[in-house]
Amino acid sequence: MSDPGGTVLEKNPPPAEVPGGSGGHRRFWSARRVPAGLVALLTLLITGAFLYDVAAVRAHRSALGWRRELARQLAERPLDDIWVLIGAGVATALGLWLLLLALTPGLRALLPMRPTDPDVRAGLHRDAAAMVLRDRALEVAGVRSVRVRVRRRRADVRAVAHFRELDDVRADLAAVLDDAVEGLGLARPPSLSLRVRRPGRKGR
């Protein structure tokens, strides 16, 4: 389940959804329902068409034209034919894509949080984490605007300071943001990348 703040909770998650890692460092795995559904539907259509044609031939009916044409093309076309190569390339790309989906967790926007209960796994959305860091950064004196982008390993913070020395603002921001990152409760707190500058000529 989830709340508007971007926190996701799983109670007693099945092991199949988190194949890899241990403890609170395990990432959330996507169910991949759309790719799985498309592959299942395509497989059903293709196998259904072949089974229908085979059954028709067994019932002493002529094979469908598309299967006769497919058999003729496979028998006559050489392996170095351009259409054969294109078909093989498309099939290879599709297979690699499916393997990538099977071997990667997905749900990259969810960051695992430190476990506080052995039966509950919590995750924080990147946008929610970025909003918390931005709000904390705006509390620092001299900060005019802040842009925050949270990734798996790093939090990029770009601040604009319209008064005070940049070094002082940067030091205060670093202290506040370090505390804010720790307060997020993430299993793997991202490293902080901080840049502070003056507004541009047009006040940006």
Q: Report the phi/psi class of residue 47: left, alpha or beta, with left for phi > 0 and alpha for psi in -120 to 50.
A: alpha
For residue 201, the model assigns a pLDDT of 61
- 11 falls in which pLDDT band (50, 70, 90)? low
Least confident piece of the model among 94-98, 104-108, 111-115, 173-177: 104-108
Cα–Cα separations (whole angstroms), residue 80 to 70, 86, 120:
17, 10, 55
Residues contacting residue 2 through CB under 8 Å, at least 6 positions apart: 8, 9
95-120 mean pLDDT: 81
For residue 13, the model assigns a pLDDT of 46
Place of tokens 């924080």: 124
| pLDDT at residue 12 is higher than 70 | no
CA 190 to chain centre: 17
C-alpha closest to that of 175 among 163, 157, 149:
157
